[in-house]
Structure 1
Amino acid sequence: MSTTSYDTPEVLDRREGPHGEVVLRRHGTLLQIIANGCFLMDTSDGRSERRLVDVAAEALGERTAPHVLIGGLGVGFSLAHAAADPRWGRITVVERERAIIDWHRDGPLAPLSADALADPRTDIVEADLIAYVNETSATYDALCLDIDNGPDWTVTEGNDGLYSPAGLASCARVLRPGGVLAVWSAHPSPEFEETLCNAGFQQVRTEEIPVARGVPDVVHVGIGPG
């Protein structure tokens, strides 16, 4: 019989990547991703990550077979939810950490995302999201971005550039006319909402998603300029 205490997280894998240390832990029934010693996410809920995708789909209305870019694979909630929805024509996920991709393909996170990864609509791109939106020639109907902890608190240096006027200009560039930008955040950010408006996004709003403890998670959403 195992003597492992559920009060003590068990490290399943530890990797040193281009942006620092990434750790996958098991804590009781939960899987947790830790980056440079800072908790990022776990498998405890996922309602706000799923809502991120639904907000974008709803804002697109009746658009036929839209192409969604999911920024950040995480524990796979957003990808799995998108793949379960036949409305999406294509699903591209941009993830910069090889370790996280591996954990989904043949590691402990595979049960959460195996069906989504096997879906022919799904494509995983190993790249830094900011560099990707700056450089890609591809365009999308929706961008669903879940990077770090949101606009006001980033764990990794440089990630805040995504939420800057220049970062939002890059997001607008890769959006097709009438496309939707949806951004997950662990905290409401009136400042970011204002930045979205100043960047030319239309119908900007913030939707709160209640969580078990603390302030609600939120999704900031806007329609691309032009």
Structure 2
Amino acid sequence: MPHPDHTYDAPRILDRREGPHGEVVLRRHGELLQIIANGCFLMDTSDGRSERLLVDLACDALAGRPRPHVLIGGLGVGFSLAHAAADPRWGRITVVERERAIIDWHLDGPLSALSAEALADPRTDILEADLVRHLHETSDTYDALCLDIDNGPDWTVTQDNDSLYSGTGLASCARVLRPGGVLAVWSAQPSPEFEGTLRNAGFQQVRTEEVRVARGVPDVVHLAVRPG
């Protein structure tokens, strides 16, 4: 008889919630935890290399700026938060997550194993808010924005996220970034069109870093710098 934790067994739903943007599901598939939004696979706990690269590239691009403040857009399974909290170079770590269910899964659910230490870090704040609205309305400023709320600029989870990757959305990003601040955007595939939008929005040093995967198109991180 196959072991119930083998990855080829059917996924098991741990929690299902209806949120303001539709259904979100946490399920276990073998040893993996997976987040599904409106039937669209978002992420799982299988790897995390690209999420960690998202944070490292942003910090490295700040060129030794002392105690920078990073905003992480999207809590997800917690890879980016945990990696940022493990790095003493960051001064403050603010995470913006719009789904209450995902926050709860980290606070007292199955994902707490990945994020409990990071959430207990005094540098960490969790804001339950829509990222697009937060960037438009907040009076706070940041040294880095590490955004991972979609499968990329060309594959958004909900239609209202599309504006984040437009000229208007990037203007909001630039508004909250301090001079010389870094914008890093995770994507499941390269987007040359988004690179052009970044340049047209006035960002400099635009580049794309790839994370090789075993099969298929590599994950990428789009990087850009607000002029000083």
Give the shorter-chain TM-score range: over 0.9
Which of 84, 87, 96 pairs up with 1:85?
Answer: 87
Equivalent of 1:74, from 55, 73, 76?
Answer: 76
1:35 aligns to what?
Answer: 37
Structure 1 runs (4+) greater than 6 angstroms displaced = none
Structure 2 partner of 1:217: 219
Deviation, structure 1 residue 183: 0.4
Following TM superposition, by how much is the alpha carbon of 1:2 offset from its aligned partner in structure 2, in angstroms?
9.9
- Residue in 1 aligned with 2:131? 129
Deviation per CA, 1:37-81: give whole Å up to 9, x if none.
Answer: 111100000000000000000100110000000000000000000
- The secondary structure found in structure 1 opposite 2:213 is coil
Work out whether 1:207 is the aligned partner of 2:209. yes
Letter in 2 for 1:106: D
- The residue matched to 1:137 in structure 2 has which SS? coil
C-alpha deviation, 1:188, in angstroms: 0.2
Alignment-mate amino acid for residue 125 of structure 2: D
The alignment-based identity, stated in percent, is: 81
The separation in 2 between residues aligned to 1:116 and 1:176, in whole angstroms, is 25
Distance change (3 Å), C-alpha of 1:2 and 1:187: closer
Per-residue deviation, residues 143-163 of structure 1 (Å, max 9, x unmatched): 000011010111211111110
RMSD: 1.3
Q: Deviations over 1:180-218 (max 9, x none)?
A: 000000000000000000000001000011123211000
Question: Normalising to structure 2: TM-score of the pair?
Answer: 0.97
How far apart, CA to CA, are the structure 2 residues paired with 1:62 and 1:178? 12
Paired residues of 2:209 and 2:220 also in contact (CA < 8 A): yes
* Unpaired segments ≥5 residues, structure 1: none
1:173 matched to 2:172? The reply is: no
Structure-to-structure mapping, 1:120-159, within 5 angstroms: 120-159=122-161
2-structure distance, mates of 1:107, 1:114: 10
| Residue identity opposite 1:45 in structure 2 | D
Instruction: State the shift of 1:3 in Å.
Output: 7.1
**What's 2:106 paired with?**
104
**Residues in 2 aligned to 1:117 and 1:211: alpha-carbon distance in whole angstroms:** 29
Distance 2:18 2:39 in 1: 12
Q: Secondary structure at the match of 1:225?
A: coil
**DSSP-derived class of the 1:70 partner:** strand
8 Å Cα contact 1:71-1:145 kept in structure 2: yes
One-letter amino acid of the counterpart of residue 97, structure 1 = E
SS at match of 1:11: strand
Shift of residue 4 of structure 1? 3.9
Measured in 1, the distance between the counterparts of 2:48 and 2:85 equals 15
Contact 1:172 1:225 in 2 (8 A): no
Q: Which runs of 5+ in 2 are unaligned?
A: none
> Does 1:56 pair with 2:67?
no
Give the TM-score normalised by structure 1.
0.98
AA at the equivalent of 2:142: Y
